[in-house]
Structures are given as C-alpha cells and as structure tokens.
C-alpha cells in the first residue's frame, strides 16, 4: 500500500508530538470487539498542525503509562498511510515504539 512517506511527506514536518491519551486496541470478531487486547493507541496533539490529534497504533504490550502531565514523545518506525472513509481522506498511523523526549542534555 502507498504510504505518505512514499509520496514525500517529511514526517519531521509534524513537529512536536505531545502525548495526551493512551487507549487499548481490541481484537474484533464478526465486527464485534472482544476482550483480547492486541495493542495500544497513543494519541498525540500536534502544535505545528493547529493542535490536531493523531492516534498512533503500536501492536503488543503497553510500552508506557500515561505521564502525570502532557509530555513530548517520539515514535520509532512511524508509518502513516491514507484511506478513504465516506467522502473524506483519513490518516492511519502505526509505529513500532514510543519514548519520552528528554529535553535535558
């Protein structure tokens, strides 16, 4: 499938990513959610993009807990792809990892 990266979007243009929520992703069987958790979606807000939100799915166990305050994060293996939903183009994001950005040097 063609991804945003394939057509030349620089993922760095998303700017700072601030973690605002973490939710489990459940397995679906026959269109209905089960109790089986297959991964987690990490929601970030993007100040450089008018604070729009982006949900990034990471399969497997939960990598981090929600910090006490909004913190900047970075993703490893971030892949963004587009799909059509109704009359709108939507984005889907997956990654292989997430970590807090350490501002102290």
Q: Name the β-bridge partners of 82.
A: 91
Phi and psi angles of residue 4, each rounded to the nearest 5 degrees, phi first:
-60, -40
Phi and psi angles of residue 7, each rounded to the nearest 5 degrees, phi first:
-100, 5
Q: What are the start-end ranges of the H helices in 24-100? A: none
From first to last of the 105 residues of the chain, give the pLDDT tens digit.
Answer: 666 666 666 778 889 999 999 999 999 999 898 999 999 999 999 999 999 999 999 999 999 998 888 899 999 999 888 888 899 888 889 999 999 997 654
Round to the nearest angstrom and report the end-to-end CA distance of the chain. Answer: 39
Q: Are 95 and 77 in contact (CB under 8 A)?
A: yes
pLDDT at residue 12 in the model: 81
User: If one looks up domain 5-99 in CATH, what number appears?
Assistant: 2.40.50.390
């Amino acid at each position: 499938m063609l991804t945003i990266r394939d057509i030349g979007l620089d993922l760095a243009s998303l700017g700072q990513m601030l973690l605002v929520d973490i939710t489990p992703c459940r397995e679906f069987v026959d269109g209905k959610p089960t109790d089986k958790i297959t991964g987690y979606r990490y929601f970030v807000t993007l100040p450089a993009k008018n604070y729009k939100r982006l949900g990034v799915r990471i399969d497997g166990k939960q990598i981090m807990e929600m910090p006490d305050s909004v913190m900047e994060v970075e993703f490893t293996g971030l892949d963004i792809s587009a799909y059509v939903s109704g009359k709108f183009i939507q984005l889907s994001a997956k990654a292989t990892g997430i970590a807090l950005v350490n501002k102290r040097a």
